[in-house]
Chains A and B, each alone.
Chain A
Amino acid sequence: MRVNWDYAPFQVLRDPARCVNCRLCEKECSNQVHRFDDKIKGMVADDTKCVNCHRCVAICPTRALKIALTDHTFRPNSNWTADSICEIYRQAESGGVLLSSMGAPTKLPVYWDKLLVNASQVTNPSIDPLREPMELRTFLGKRPSMIERDPDGEILDNRQPGLMVETPILFAAMSYGAISYNAHAALAKAAQRLGTFYNTGEGGLHEDFYVYGENTIVQVASGRFGVQPEYLNAGKAVEIKVGQGAKPGIGGHLPGSKIVADVAKTRMIPEGMDALSPAPHHDIYSIEDLRQLVDSIKEATQYRKPVIVKVAAVHNIAAIASGIARSGADIIAIDGYRGGTGAAPTRIRDNVGIPIELALAAVDQRLRDEKIRGEVSLIAGGSIRNSADVVKAVALGADAVYVGTAALIALGCHLCRACHSGKCNWGIATQRPELVARLDPEEGAERLYNLITAWNHEIKEMMGGMGINSIEALRGNRAMLRGVGLNQKELDILGIRHAGE
């Protein structure tokens, strides 16, 4: 027998005093961890298959289960960690690229946690959002550089089409295929109720969801999956996806197991075929090509839709953003190093790109230095985890943020990072009908609505504390931020002072 050198990182712990052998865990686990053993007349678990998604733990009626990190160990080594060793075993066995899902779990600094927010004391009153209006409505798009008047002296509306959102939080692009029909339905319904937008991702738009067009951003990525004139005109905006924070420089990866009939039809590709979108757009080899694609999309949508260009945060992001701002795009979405994904090569996810905080600060300042900040709005994404991250992003200069991972967590995701397996027990990152059915779109929409509503309340509280009653006055208001434990270079890039200064 071939020896398996890898070792299961998790242990399924079952309290025999509590387990009643109801076999619900066995039924619920798509990874087939649990099994009833006739010999011992009891449940047993195969730890090697466990991804630690907590489905069995949550579903167990007697709370008999928990998952623990194994204490099995290699000889401790700060350089050769257990992960590094096991990854080599796996690659030596398979000869393949390591795949991972969701955002990079690495220990690099999370700058949000090193930023602190200001509040009013004495010289300036804080404002109570329970008693005074507190405004989160945001306009996203180009702002004309000069006003124009008609012969009667009335101001003409010379704005280009843009987006009006009731909260500076939009749902990030997650394609139908990577996530389920029910997950998309929940996002669409929630976006509608919240007065914001969800984003189709690169997988096209299922015909059932055209009704949510007023709250939809449709995406055009390098694979052009599902792109056709009706699709382009179905939403309120079109997003050109150039890059993604989790995997800058490469295209999308959707395993054939997830390309079921409906997904195939929506994407306009054969069923069961891996959907690998090309690394670059083959009609964008340079910035002038981007301008042509922006113009083509505007032409195809009769100049009625703003165009968003989404890029991954990479080293030269400020110059790239400046180029995009001059290419006719209305909105730039920047996706940071920690941004999520349904599948990405591990090495790329964990080693390519830069943190969104630094990228956002650099881009906002660069666009101002070049006097073109009014030409575009900025959406920041790539691990916005809570309302404080939103406040800090807006204060650094974002007009709005994209949330992807946080939205999935609200739907039940437990961040087991096994989306690429297609066996999501929570019905989110899967196309298996019996698993998808576990996610109730109505309940999911309500949970998403609750989450963003809760964040809105918290944002208003923090704004009120600063004496600010409109999100517009927070945008780019870096005096409201101070850094802790940051060096001078980091402070300079973020454009903030250290706490105590």
Chain B
Amino acid sequence: MLQKEGQVRIPSGCAISGIFAKDGSRVNGQEIVRSIAVMHDRSNGLGGGFAGYGIYPTYKDYYALHVFYEDLNAKHECEAFLERHFDIINLSKIPTRKTRKIVDEPLIWRYFVTPLPHALSDSQLDEREYTVRCVFRVNTRIQGAYVFSSGKNMGAFKAVGYPEDVGSFYRLDEYEGYCWMAHGRYPTNTPGWWGGAHPFTMIDYAIVHNGEISSYDANRRWLEMFGYHCSLLTDTEVITYIFDYLLRKQGLSLEEAAQVVAAPFWETIQRKDPKEQERLTYLRSVFSSLLITGPFSILLGFDGGMMALNDRLKLRSMVAAEKGNLFYVASEECAIRVIQPELDRVWAPKGGEPVIVRLEKEVV
């Protein structure tokens, strides 16, 4: 019997693309769809997805939960759970456009929620950790329900299909945001499960990833000590948890986290000044089990910023570019040129060197 994602580990190749407006100006979702569509051949129709930041300004203070349901029972059970833990401000089906290219869709719902104050204080957790744990609970305990997006003022949209068709299905041309990330998937198996598509998200973190990491099980088994349950067995899932652990739980900066997952080689460290040597040696020895090896190019989206990072040998292509306040990054330059033919600067970031962009001012 063919095993579903989560029961078996499925390697996959991919395409990624990202757009970021540093001044917070709003970019239409259609732009990122056009960009990823150029790299059609890097996907095989078995998964596509997007993440947009700044897309829900009206509800920006509420966690936006996007949920797949296999059936109505799952929906009833999940909603009962949500009502016990959150104040639900708004709920609706996520609007979709029927297309013959996207089939077998689950029920797709969206909830804007905020933790119930007494439940939150009883839990003795901060608001984000509380939300993370509730999402884990739904995804691991409620059969047929899967929360695939849970951040504030951001959302993920994903499906089985080619990314441009997924974009059309979710009517991304009706959304605007300061940051967009896209993913086209080329898995080497046919799970046909929507939850397995990318991006993978965890509260406001969203990851799209191209590659197959060889350190997977070393990373997974280490992370599971800290309460992360890797239910999908995908690289993207484990990478998201690594960043969540390093950034949110350990309080590392993005640069420091990049130096953990794509750590400089010892011979590079030896060329640094003594203080820097000591710092990098510390990070490598304390977090050695979170080093990621094997090819990857990833985009990590977070509230107010985005990071692009290649593995330390740069075994996957990734090109970055700038035009005015706009930052672009993609697996191939053509995916940038198609939406912005004239660029101020185009470069290929070095392996292990993160490119980090942030909003220059608070978006209102």
Chain A residues close to B by CB (< 8 Å): 120, 123-125, 127, 132-133, 135, 137, 139, 143-144, 146-147, 149, 154-155, 157, 159, 162, 164, 368, 371, 373-374, 466-470, 472-480
* Residue in contact with B11 in the complex, picked from A123, A470, A472, A477, CB distance below 8 Å: A123
Who on chain A is nearest to B253 by CB?
Answer: A153
Who on chain B is nearest to A146 by CB?
Answer: B250
Closest CB-CB distance, A472 to chain B, in whole Å?
A: 4
Binding-face segment, B73-81, B111-119, B287-295:
B287-295
A/B interface sample: 28 pairs, CB < 8 A: A120-B214, A123-B12, A124-B211, A124-B294, A132-B313, A133-B266, A137-B266, A139-B288, A143-B288, A146-B250, A155-B282, A159-B282, A162-B285, A368-B221, A368-B224, A371-B225, A466-B214, A467-B293, A468-B294, A470-B263, A470-B291, A472-B291, A473-B291, A476-B217, A477-B221, A478-B217, A479-B9, A480-B214
CA distance A164 to B270 in the complex (A): 14
Q: List 15 additional A-B contacts (Cβ < 8 Å) besides A473-B293, A474-B215, A476-B222.
A: A123-B188, A124-B11, A124-B295, A133-B267, A143-B285, A144-B286, A147-B250, A147-B252, A468-B214, A468-B215, A468-B294, A469-B312, A473-B219, A478-B217, A480-B214
* Residue in contact with A473 in the complex, picked from B11, B188, B286, B292, CB distance below 8 Å: B292
Determine the chain B residues whose CB is within 8 A of the CB of A123 once the complex forms: 11-13, 188, 212
Contact, CB under 8 Å: A159 / B285? yes
Q: Which of B1-48 contact A (CB under 8 A)?
A: 9, 11-13
Q: Which of B187-214 contact A (CB under 8 A)?
A: 188, 211-212, 214
CA distance A144 to B285 in the complex (A): 10
Determine the chain B residues whose CB is within 8 A of the CB of A467 once the complex forms: 212, 214, 293-295
A-B pairs, top 6 by smallest CB distance, nearest first, are A473-B215, A479-B217, A139-B285, A467-B214, A477-B218, A472-B288
Closest CB-CB distance, A256 to chain B, in whole Å?
A: 45
Within 8 Å of chain A (Cβ to Cβ): is B71?
no
Within 8 Å of chain A (Cβ to Cβ): is B279?
yes
Determine the chain A residues whose CB is within 8 A of the CB of B287 once the complex forms: 143
CA distance A466 to B286 in the complex (A): 24
* Residue in contact with A159 in the complex, picked from B222, B225, B286, B295, CB distance below 8 Å: B286
CA distance A479 to B218 in the complex (A): 8
Q: Which of B225, B226, B252, B295 has the most CB of A within 10 A?
A: B225
Determine the chain A residues whose CB is within 8 A of the CB of B295 once the complex forms: 124-125, 467
* Chain B 32-76 interface 0/1 with A at a Cβ cutoff of 8 Å (1 = within): 000000000000000000000000000000000000000000000
Determine the chain B residues whose CB is within 8 A of the CB of A478 once the complex forms: 217, 221
Give the number of residues in B that approach A within 8 Å (Cβ atoms): 44
Contact, CB under 8 Å: A479 / B216? yes
Contact, CB under 8 Å: B286 / A143? yes
Number of A-B contacts (CB under 8 A): 109
Chain B residues close to A by CB (< 8 Å): 9, 11-13, 188, 211-212, 214-219, 221-222, 224-226, 250-252, 256, 263, 265-267, 278-279, 282-289, 291-295, 312-313, 315
Closest CB-CB distance, A327 to chain B, in whole Å?
A: 19
Determine the chain A residues whose CB is within 8 A of the CB of B267 once the complex forms: 133
Closest CB-CB distance, B236 to chain A, in whole Å?
A: 15
CA distance A472 to B312 in the complex (A): 14
Q: Which of A149, A373, A473, A477 has the most CB of B within 10 A?
A: A473
Determine the chain B residues whose CB is within 8 A of the CB of A468 once the complex forms: 214-215, 293-294
CA distance A374 to B13 in the complex (A): 33
Q: Which of A164, A475, A477 has the most CB of B within 10 A?
A: A477
Contact, CB under 8 Å: A135 / B250? no
Contact, CB under 8 Å: B216 / A147? no
Determine the chain A residues whose CB is within 8 A of the CB of B226 once the complex forms: 371
Contact, CB under 8 Å: A374 / B225? yes
* Residue in contact with B266 in the complex, picked from A135, A159, A475, CB distance below 8 Å: A135
Contact, CB under 8 Å: B214 / A473? yes
CA distance A44 to B222 in the complex (A): 64
CA distance A159 to B284 in the complex (A): 12
Who on chain B is nearest to A399 by CB?
Answer: B288
Q: Which of A137, A162, A469, A474 has the most CB of B within 10 A?
A: A469
Determine the chain B residues whose CB is within 8 A of the CB of A143 once the complex forms: 285-288
Closest CB-CB distance, A45 to chain B, in whole Å?
A: 55
Determine the chain A residues whose CB is within 8 A of the CB of B288 once the complex forms: 139, 143, 472, 475
Who on chain A is nearest to B294 by CB?
Answer: A467
CA distance A153 to B293 in the complex (A): 29
CA distance A218 to B69 in the complex (A): 61
Determine the chain B residues whose CB is within 8 A of the CB of A472 once the complex forms: 218, 284, 288-289, 291
CA distance A119 to B315 in the complex (A): 16
Determine the chain B residues whose CB is within 8 A of the CB of A470 once the complex forms: 263, 291, 293
Closest CB-CB distance, B277 to chain A, in whole Å?
A: 12
Closest CB-CB distance, B212 to chain A, in whole Å?
A: 4
Who on chain A is nearest to B224 by CB?
Answer: A368
Determine the chain B residues whose CB is within 8 A of the CB of A371 once the complex forms: 225-226
Determine the chain A residues whose CB is within 8 A of the CB of B251 once the complex forms: 147, 149
* Residue in contact with A475 in the complex, picked from B214, B218, B250, B252, CB distance below 8 Å: B218
Who on chain A is nearest to B226 by CB?
Answer: A371
Determine the chain A residues whose CB is within 8 A of the CB of B282 once the complex forms: 155, 157, 159
Determine the chain A residues whose CB is within 8 A of the CB of B312 once the complex forms: 469
Contact, CB under 8 Å: A373 / B225? yes
Determine the chain A residues whose CB is within 8 A of the CB of B216 once the complex forms: 477, 479
* Residue in contact with A476 in the complex, picked from B218, B256, B294, CB distance below 8 Å: B218
CA distance A368 to B227 in the complex (A): 11
Contact, CB under 8 Å: B289 / A475? yes
Q: Which of B216, B224, B286, B295 has the most CB of A within 10 A?
A: B286
Who on chain B is nearest to A166 by CB?
Answer: B266
Who on chain A is nearest to B290 by CB?
Answer: A472
Closest CB-CB distance, B8 to chain A, in whole Å?
A: 9
Determine the chain A residues whose CB is within 8 A of the CB of B217 once the complex forms: 476-480
Determine the chain B residues whose CB is within 8 A of the CB of A133 once the complex forms: 265-267
Determine the chain A residues whose CB is within 8 A of the CB of B283 once the complex forms: 155
CA distance A349 to B284 in the complex (A): 40
Closest CB-CB distance, A326 to chain B, in whole Å?
A: 15
CA distance A351 to B246 in the complex (A): 47
CA distance A162 to B284 in the complex (A): 14
Determine the chain B residues whose CB is within 8 A of the CB of A135 once the complex forms: 265-266
* Residue in contact with A124 in the complex, picked from B214, B278, B279, CB distance below 8 Å: B214
Closest CB-CB distance, B204 to chain A, in whole Å?
A: 22
CA distance A154 to B295 in the complex (A): 31
Determine the chain B residues whose CB is within 8 A of the CB of A147 once the complex forms: 250-252, 286
CA distance A477 to B293 in the complex (A): 12
CA distance A335 to B317 in the complex (A): 45
Determine the chain A residues whose CB is within 8 A of the CB of B265 once the complex forms: 133, 135
Who on chain A is nearest to B285 by CB?
Answer: A139
Q: Which of B222, B288, B293 has the most CB of A within 10 A?
A: B293
Contact, CB under 8 Å: A476 / B286? no
Contact, CB under 8 Å: A469 / B313? yes
Who on chain A is nearest to B267 by CB?
Answer: A133
